[in-house]
Amino acid sequence: MSFLIRHRTSFSIALLLFAVARSFAAEKPNIIVIMADDMGYADAGFTGSKEILTPNLDALAASGVVFRQGYANHPFCGPTRAALLSGRYQHRIGFETNPAFDPSNPIMGIDPDVTLFPKRLQNAGYVTGCVGKWHLGAAEPFHPNNRGFDYFYGFLGGGHDYFQIDLTKPVKEGYLQGLTRNDKPATFDGYLTTALSRDAARFVNDHKDKPFFLYVAYNAPHAPLQAPAEDIERYKHIPDKKRRTYAAMVDVMDRGIGEVITAVEKNGLRDNTLVFFLSDNGGPQASKQKPGKWNGSSNQPFRGGKGDLYDGGVHVPFIASWPAKIPAGTSFDSPVISIDISRTAVAAAGGSPGGKQAMEGVDLLPFVSGDQGGVPHEALYWRSGTKWSVLAADGTKQVQDNESDTPQLFFLPDDVSETNDLIASQPDRSKALRESWERWDEANVPCRMLGYIDYHKQRDRFFLEAIPKAATESGYEPTVKGNFK
């Protein structure tokens, strides 16, 4: 009898612990971060588009908060992703350029000593997944499975063809290389954006019983401009062919986002799922130096585009939705930045933001809910090569971009398109902002990598000049001669 009592008691305790564990797990929100690539600010319905259909993004925006002054950490791809995933300004970790695609290079990627926030979520009890574009290094030390992700499906470089894999072509930036699923080669059928969306939805279905974090990093609508013919046909009313294809790319991405959210809803997880959406930078715009770089996007009403530190380069569509915590239809007007996403996610998950490389973003939820007054940031900062910018909480912005030989000062609440330079009339304000930026810059380190264009030039020079020269000096005579240029 005593055995039965002990046995029942142990069984009851086990059930209680199981129930507590299930309850504890249920309190942790699922977290999804969705990132578009090179999407123009004005190309979603919730930011004012009348041309491109984005009903799923619009519904997501209506269900939560739209950050009217949402910013990316950098005006182009890789550094913004390094900032988002580390939760720190990318300049602190030497990641200020796009890395070249080179699976043999153990330096060309995000520093292995840097803790990425998916690892912090793993430590908090989450299963973590990454689907889509990585762009933080193609060698083994940088692989997503080695950087805090339990699951990865996508490509390691900065872009990919949307319809094909062709290993007979030059590797270059890997746009025709195969995809990867964890540690195995992978392929895709049909249109890449759709394949990524379906895989992301499958991750939700497969991990519905445990708190999960899912990073969906689309390469749409990044070049090459490719979309299914039937989707391009839907936008035949748009006169410009480039914008027509671009619109179709955004449309397919929006439908894919809808598929992911539907998976969340069907599994009864929507109320307790925190979803973020943003673009990694503004849409590319034509310039005198690169008249053909426009990808069909619109950043209206902002000045400039991808690569610029004017708002067109860094002011992006930015949403958070968490029905259990964020009131629907909320609008937030103070400046926020992409590193706030990872800091908010870690806070919501009950993870630790500290340690050797403490996260620099701000938990946005107390500000959105009204539990905390004031502003998340007194200032936001950017640096890209010799260009720099600082945006104060009141909307005063100082920027040194290539279009001007000297810094310019703007007051965005009255001049959203940055056309009225106030620097001559407000020298004290300009000086104060510059000094603030310089204090921030003191903690930055040099970039640890060459940009991908310079890297390819040096690598080509090595193979075409250095190796033949070394072979000649050693007396080596090749058995096969040819023109390798």
Instruction: Show the beta-strand stretches assigned E in 250-341.
Output: 273-279, 318-321, 330-332, 336-337
The DSSP code sequence of 423-441 is TTT-HHHHHHHHHHHHHHH
Of 407, 401, 405, 402, residue with least CA distance to 426: 407
Q: Report d(CA 247, CA 341) in Å as an integer.
A: 27
Q: Report d(CA 250, CA 34) in Å as an integer.
A: 13
pLDDT higher than threshold 70 for residue 11: no
**Tens digits of residue pLDDT in 301-321:** 999 999 999 999 999 999 999
Instruction: Show the beta-strand stretches assigned E in 105-189.
Output: 127-133, 151-155, 179-181, 184-186
* Tokens at 454, concatenated: 């310079």
pLDDT higher than threshold 80 for residue 393: yes
Helix (H) or strand (E) holding 107: none
* CATH fold for domain 28-377: Alkaline Phosphatase, subunit A (3.40.720)
Tell me the three state secondary structure of residue 72: coil
Position 154 scores a pLDDT of 98
Enzyme catalytic residues:
77, 135
More confident residue, 288 or 416: 416
**Tens digits of residue pLDDT in 197-228:** 999 999 999 999 999 999 999 999 999 999 99
Is the separation of the CB atoms in 163 and 176 below 8 Å? no
Mean pLDDT to the nearest integer, 285-314 = 94
Position 463 scores a pLDDT of 77
**Tens digits of residue pLDDT in 47-100:** 999 999 999 999 999 999 999 999 999 999 999 999 999 999 999 999 999 999
pLDDT higher than threshold 60 for residue 12: no
Is the separation of the CB atoms in 235 and 251 below 8 Å? yes
Return all residues near 456 (Cβ < 8 A) that are at least 6 apart. Answer: 100, 172
What's the mean per-residue pLDDT of the chain? 92
Is the separation of the CB atoms in 316 and 41 below 8 Å? yes
**What are the residue boundaries of the structural domains of the chain, listed by start?**
28-377
Tell me the three state secondary structure of residue 101: coil
- What is the DSSP secondary structure assignment for residue 146, as one 8-state letter? G
**Tens digits of residue pLDDT in 132-172:** 999 999 999 999 999 999 999 999 999 999 999 999 999 99
Report the relative pairing of strands 127-133 and 151-155 from DSSP bridges. Answer: parallel
Q: Report d(CA 81, CA 134) in Å as an integer.
A: 8
pLDDT higher than threshold 90 for residue 470: no
Among the residue ranges 37-41, 138-142, 385-389, 400-404, the one predicted with the least confidence is 400-404
